[in-house]
Amino acid sequence: MIAILATAFAALAALLHVYIFVMESVQWTQPKIWRRFGLADQTAAETTKPLAYNQGFYNLFLAVGTVLGIVLFLTGADESGVRAAGLALVLFSLGSMVAAALVLLTTGMKYLRPALLQGTLPLIGFVLYLFA
């Protein structure tokens, strides 16, 4: 049961990070997106586009790592190296998501809400996977 909950939270965290990838790497210069990220105007969005593009791919790679880890964890036998590798990959990916949320928080309390959005699902998944 714990493994199912852990997997659900990890999968939701991966989906959220894919969504963040889309916003940062694909939709960045759309006004509703750059406003969501606190930019002042279209010029700022164009100026920061290369940085956002790069950052978006970091989020995508964390999502891919999480999904691959889930697949390995669920398909490996209980005592197999495949299951252990999956667990390690999921924990690393989720832990990196949580760490990124903490780093975001260090840039100012105005980022508390985005940090909580970015870090809560992976934190819950990480803790649950420790008990799975």
Q: What is the pLDDT of residues 38-96, one digit of tens each?
A: 999 999 999 999 999 999 999 999 999 999 999 999 999 888 899 999 999 999 999 99
The whole-number pLDDT of residue 74 equals 95
Q: DSSP H helical segments within the chain, as ranges?
A: 2-21, 31-36, 42-75, 81-105, 112-131
Radius of gyration of the chain from its Cα atoms, rounded to whole angstroms = 16
The whole-number pLDDT of residue 77 equals 87
- Supply the pTM of this predicted model: 0.93
pLDDT at 100 over 90: yes
CA atoms lying within 13 Å on the CB side of residue 8: 5
Percentage of residues in the chain having pLDDT higher than 90: 95
The whole-number pLDDT of residue 80 equals 87
Q: How far apart are CA 74 and CA 45, in angstroms?
A: 41
The whole-number pLDDT of residue 132 equals 86
Please compute the mean of the pLDDT values over residues 109-127 and round it to a whole number.
Answer: 96
Query: Which residue, among 24, 21, 17, has the nearest Cα to 50 in the 3D structure?
Result: 24
Extents of the domains making up the chain: 2-131
